[in-house]
Amino acid sequence: MKKKVLAALLSVAMVATLLAGCGSKSEEPAAAPAPAEEEAEAPAEPAESEEETPADAPAASGDLADKKVGVCIYQFSDNFMTLFRTELENYLISLGFAKENISIQDGQNDQATQTNQIDNFITDEVDVLIINPVNSSSAETITDKVVAAGIPLVYINREPDESEQKRWEENNWDVTYVGCDARQSGTFQGELIADLGLENVDKNGNGKIDYIMIQGDPENVDAQYRTEFSVKALQDAGLEVNELFNQVGNWQQAEAQTLVANALGQFGTDVEVVFCNNDAMALGALQAINEKERKVGEDIFLVGVDALSEALENVLNGTMTGTVFNDHFSQSHNAADAAVNYLNGTGNDHKISCDYVKVTKDNAQEVLDMVK
């Protein structure tokens, strides 16, 4: 059921992506997986881009119960990564891994702590590693030690840069990155605002969209792309933009609340749009907006990314303009499937993509039913 809903949503997203002329052009999106508990007899299909991978590889694999999986998460307190890791663990178990053989470590947003955890996983001779790096700039060092230990590696959520990915390809290493193209999420955010029409957003009547931008931690390239492409989508729609304020909220609700309160204090009713690189920060922004007695949908507009339940409820109530579903089901399932493909010897492409879904009041309930 959920699978069908997501597949329908994704096809809408794909059309939107094609129209917008961006997104992962070279790769078909993965078939939309359902949450793991509904998935036991029907594992997700791996991304179609994995040409050499039979669609039923995970189900066909033999002795997964004996395989040790090491998972490193950059920070457990991150809302989105909590959804991701919970789904990842459930899905790994549904594929046949034993719960006691899946170890998930909290990097506490500290690369030294995470590096230590990786060293311990290598000493423990885990069979495969799934890593959400604290610093994506540390990927080269991480890759080198993991490859030297002969352990296949699946990066998630924080995309290593192009030169690093090139090394995997050139050396034919068992290393891949699983994630969505953050440019698409930024574009969708911009479109959510552009679709409202200048006449409805331009409250101060200066003919421009006056916005503030609250960015995530730059260690995730998602922050940079969402910032750039949300504004680009407005410009591509023929709108003039005026950036009033642009600061880093580190993906955190409380930090964003403080920043937005400052921006609203400084620029008052000139602030027409609040772009947040994720929903946690949009929730913080909403607190600041409420404190200033501004009204989303009336005198200010607010968008985030992720489709956290609380954000979806706000979209339904009209207290957020919209969000973008960051599909943690597809990402976690594709990461687990990629791990299995390495264990089976079938291998993977060096990059496995998925699609975001634009969320407005019209489809927020369907997405909420799926993520809840």
Binding interface with ligand BGC (CB under 6 A): 78, 80-81, 157-158, 216, 220, 222, 251, 278, 280, 305-306, 326
Nearer Cβ to ligand BGC, position 80 or 168?
Answer: 80
Nearer Cβ to ligand BGC, position 168 or 325?
Answer: 325
Q: How far is the CB of 203 from ligand BGC (least distance, A)?
A: 28
Q: How far is the CB of 70 from ligand BGC (least distance, A)?
A: 19
Under 8 Å between Cβ of 312 and 367: yes
**Taking the mean position of all CA atoms in its chain, how far away is CA 364?**
17
Nearer Cβ to ligand BGC, position 280 or 357?
Answer: 280
How would you classify the pairing of strands 323-325 and 357-359? antiparallel
Max Cα–Cα distance, the chain, nearest Å: 65
Q: How far is the CB of 110 from ligand BGC (least distance, A)?
A: 14
Q: How far is the CB of 52 from ligand BGC (least distance, A)?
A: 28
Q: How far is the CB of 67 from ligand BGC (least distance, A)?
A: 26
Nearer Cβ to ligand BGC, position 135 or 321?
Answer: 135
Q: How far is the CB of 66 from ligand BGC (least distance, A)?
A: 31
Nearer Cβ to ligand BGC, position 34 or 280?
Answer: 280
Q: How far is the CB of 278 from ligand BGC (least distance, A)?
A: 3
Nearer Cβ to ligand BGC, position 181 or 306?
Answer: 306
Nearer Cβ to ligand BGC, position 226 or 294?
Answer: 226
